[in-house]
């Protein structure tokens, strides 16, 4: 009798897990959290180990998880691409240690590496004679999908190894495993750009990376900020390190990106202490990490210990506590962005996630609410990752009582009450009222932000006060504020008012490129603003330019050119420009006078790549042009220097291939001093 009940439970669990595997790996649309998935899997594993007679060869416990999507070439892996068993407490990690120490006493004296467990898309990279020849997904662990062309667009992926000429010589065939991820700040920036362009925003970095790499259109893949981090040598036909720590250093020396926070621990206690450090830093990590991986450093010993199902005995994932919880969706609020785009957010029954009380969460866009059929009153799954805003994953349909109500997309702006518009072909809904106070607050916040006019002390709260108190009607009004008016505002003691006025005044000397960024013209980011400034020298010239002339500017495509023309045609914007001119906020790019700036870089061609420590790309370009140098977009034999910052990708590889000197920001500055 008991047998029958258990058998039924096993069958149900297998069906559930298969469904979730498919949702997660093939459709990229998980229905439950990793934590809940793990729970199902662990229950099944426990039942199967108690009743081995009920094990079937097709049980999900025998698979890594993941089906191969139709359409990509299927590639057999050279060796199985294994998974990891996981633990959720120190006790479980100690139990793992005891299990393997019983199998081999050498484990008791072993040391361990501790690595982040990266939450991205697992990739398997093949190199032949140092050349990247093929990259695949993990698929089901035996067969993956060939995503070589998409991977080639990932800038941190070395197309040749060693990347550094002095690096070790790799064996003729080397297969490396890594994780394709998107850093949290890149993810946020990407979504902001998509939102500003009226396009659909992404739900989370993992699915974005995975979806982008499984695109047939690799130009889309290339436009996504995917990065790679490697952690394993899967296979090789020559000597490679036999210790995991050495293997990580070796991969790094070959030029592979390797996580920077890896450690070597003398014993298990060391690894458990490290876990506590990671928990403490969890919210400040640059990418999503769902735990740590503790690995036996001795790879030979690890191999000898073998595998259980698809999990190697020599390593274990120690997961962080769940950061997914369910709570009640009490209402849906609306946010009005700088460009007028209206986005919904969840107002939640307060709930604790990872030590923080969450009251609000992103709902992405109105289509998301509709597609997931999210209703007010629903219990919803909330995820919190890093310090990004928590987001709603979807409703818990089983928890419905019938009291929930469907949501109607608003037709009026929550701030100004004007009718909202949906622009053809875009998912976003806009408030097109130029005088909408909510947009003005966002515009001021943007105008004053760091990459723009950099007005210290003018964040969203102060912007709110200024708009609410009707002290400013547009960004130009900032320059007619004085201490007396400001000191009437709540919380503005004399000193604070004086400081703000001083920073506003100081912003007058920002260069034209900054003012252009600050004006918040759609699609005109820092790079485009820099290009426009060096071409047109002042706002008078730029406001008179025609579409054709704009399109000829390097870096300005037809879409951006159109938005610029439209922006300068808007009467409300012209009013702002007139006011800025009158207030003498009218920077000009002056031609360098021979006496003042020596054209020391005349005849030299530079290419810029990566993030420089203090200059933006546009500023570095301006600096080079000012000193008579030339800047182009691509590395070729005609390039004299590559100026490389952090996370430089293919341009760096190319420069090294062509033996072109690579310099950093300091060296660039040294050239012109």
Looking at the Cβ atoms of 114 and 601, the one nearer to ligand IVH is 114
Phi and psi, residue 531, nearest 5°? -65, -45
Query: Residue 246, SS3?
Result: helix
In whole angstroms, how close is the CB of 113 to ligand IVH at the nearest point? 9
Tracing tokens 């159109």 back to the chain, one arrives at: 562
Q: Are the C-beta atoms of 508 and 584 separated by less than 8 Å?
A: yes
In whole angstroms, how close is the CB of 611 to ligand IVH at the nearest point? 24
In whole angstroms, how close is the CB of 210 to ligand IVH at the nearest point? 11
Q: What's the helix, strand, coil split of the chain in %, to 5? A: 40, 20, 40
In whole angstroms, how close is the CB of 128 to ligand IVH at the nearest point? 22
Query: Residue 234, SS3?
Result: strand
Q: Residue 336 contacts by C-beta under 8 Å, 6 or more apart in sequence?
A: 342, 413, 414, 415, 431, 436, 438, 439, 442
Q: Are the C-beta atoms of 181 and 118 separated by less than 8 Å?
A: yes
- Host H or E run for residue 412: none
Cα torsion for 408, 410, 415, 420, to the nearest 10°? 170
Q: Could you give the CA distance from residue 37 to residue 16 in angstroms, rounded to a whole number?
A: 9
Looking at the Cβ atoms of 82 and 251, the one nearer to ligand IVH is 82
Looking at the Cβ atoms of 115 and 474, the one nearer to ligand IVH is 115
Say which of 5, 117, 189, 582 is annotated catalytic: 117
DSSP string, 204-221: -HHHHHHHHHT-S-HHHH
Query: Residue 290, SS3?
Result: strand
- Judge whether 117 counts as a catalytic residue: yes
642, burial (CB in 10 Å: exposed 0-12, middle 13-18, buried 19+): buried
Q: Which two tokens stand for residue 23?
A: 């949702």
Q: Which of 211, 149, 226 is nearest to 25 (CA)?
A: 211
Looking at the Cβ atoms of 293 and 652, the one nearer to ligand IVH is 293
In whole angstroms, how close is the CB of 521 to ligand IVH at the nearest point? 41
Looking at the Cβ atoms of 81 and 528, the one nearer to ligand IVH is 81
Kindly list the residues in this chain that would bind ligand IVH in the complex (CB under 6 A).
82-84, 115, 117-118, 122, 179, 231-232, 293, 312, 315, 317
Q: Which of 509, 525, 521, 524 is nearest to 451 (CA)?
A: 525
Q: Which of 138, 22, 137 is nearest to 81 (CA)?
A: 138
Cis peptide before 463 (omega within 30 of 0): no
Looking at the Cβ atoms of 137 and 433, the one nearer to ligand IVH is 137
Q: Which two tokens stand for residue 651?
A: 């341009």
Q: Pairing mode, if any, of strands 662-663 and 641-644? A: parallel
- Host H or E run for residue 271: helix 268-281
Q: Which residues are catalytic?
A: 117
């Amino acid at each position: 009798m008991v047998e029958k009940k258990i058998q039924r439970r096993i069958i149900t669990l297998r069906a559930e897990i298969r469904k979730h595997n498919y949702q997660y790996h093939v459709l990229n649309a998980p229905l439950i959290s990793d934590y809940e998935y793990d729970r199902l899997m662990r229950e099944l594993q426990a039942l199967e180990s108690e009743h081995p007679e009920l094990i079937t060869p097709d049980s999900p416990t025998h698979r890594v998880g993941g089906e191969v999507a139709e359409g990509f070439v299927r590639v057999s892996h050279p060796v199985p691409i294994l998974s990891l068993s996981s633990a959720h407490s120190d006790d479980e990690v100690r139990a793992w240690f005891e299990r393997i120490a019983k199998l081999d006493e050498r484990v008791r004296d072993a040391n361990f590496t501790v690595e982040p467990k990266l939450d991205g898309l697992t990739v398997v990279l093949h190199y032949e004679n140092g050349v990247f020849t093929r990259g695949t997904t993990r698929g089901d662990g035996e067969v993956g999908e060939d995503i070589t062309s998409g991977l080639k667009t990932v800038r941190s992926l070395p197309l040749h190894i060693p990347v550094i000429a002095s690096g070790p010589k790799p064996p003729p065939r080397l297969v490396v495993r890594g994780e394709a991820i998107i850093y949290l700040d890149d993810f946020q920036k990407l979504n902001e750009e998509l939102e500003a362009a009226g396009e659909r925003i992404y739900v989370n970095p993992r699915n974005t990376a995975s979806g982008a790499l499984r695109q047939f259109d690799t130009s889309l893949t290339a436009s996504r900020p995917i990065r790679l981090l490697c952690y394993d040598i899967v296979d090789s036909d020559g000597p490679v390190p036999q210790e995991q720590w050495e293997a990580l250093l070796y991969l790094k020396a070959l030029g592979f990106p390797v996580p920077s926070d890896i450690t070597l621990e003398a014993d298990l206690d060391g690894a458990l202490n490290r876990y506590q450090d990671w928990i403490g830093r969890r919210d400040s990590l640059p990418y999503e990490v769902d735990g740590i991986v503790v690995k036996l450093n001795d790879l030979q010993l690890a191999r000898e210990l073998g595998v259980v199902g698809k999990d190697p005995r020599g390593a274990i994932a120690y997961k962080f506590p769940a950061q997914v919880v369910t709570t009640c969706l009490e209402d849906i609020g609306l946010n009005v962005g700088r460009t007028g785009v209206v986005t919904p957010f969840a107002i939640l029954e307060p709930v604790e996630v990872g030590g923080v009380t969450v009251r609000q969460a992103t709902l992405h866009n109105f289509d998301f609410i509709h597609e997931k059929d999210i209703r007010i009153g629903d219990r919803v799954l909330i995820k919190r990752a890093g310090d990004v805003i928590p987001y709603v994953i979807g409703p818990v349909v089983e928890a419905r009582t019938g009291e929930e109500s469907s949501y109607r997309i608003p037709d009026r702006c929550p701030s100004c009450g004007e009718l909202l518009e949906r622009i053809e072909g875009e998912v976003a809904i806009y408030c097109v009222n130029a005088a909408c106070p909510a947009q003005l607050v966002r515009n001021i916040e943007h105008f004053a932000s760091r990459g723009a006019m950099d007005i210290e002390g003018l964040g969203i709260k102060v912007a709110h006060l200024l708009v609410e108190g009707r002290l400013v009607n547009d960004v130009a009004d900032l320059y007619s504020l004085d201490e007396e008016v400001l000191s009437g505002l709540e919380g503005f003691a004399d000193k604070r008012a004086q400081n703000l006025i001083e920073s506003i005044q100081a912003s007058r000397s920002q260069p034209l490129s900054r003012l252009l960024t600050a004006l918040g013209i759609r699609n005109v980011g820092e790079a485009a603003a820099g290009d426009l400034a060096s071409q047109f020298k002042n706002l008078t010239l730029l406001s008179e330019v025609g579409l054709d002339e704009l399109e000829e500017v390097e870096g300005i495509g037809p879409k951006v050119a159109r938005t610029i023309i439209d922006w300068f045609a808007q009467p409300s914007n012209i009013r702002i420009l007139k006011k800025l001119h009158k207030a003498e906020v009218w920077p000009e790019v002056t031609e360098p006078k021979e006496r003042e700036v020596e054209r020391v870089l005349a005849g030299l061609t530079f290419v810029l790549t990566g993030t420089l420590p203090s200059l933006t790309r546009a500023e570095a370009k301006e600096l080079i042009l000012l000193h008579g140098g030339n800047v182009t977009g691509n590395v070729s034999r005609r390039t004299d220097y590559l100026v490389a910052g952090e996370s430089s990708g293919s341009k760096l590889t190319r420069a090294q291939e062509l033996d072109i000197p690579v310099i950093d920001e300091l060296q660039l500055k040294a050239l012109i001093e």
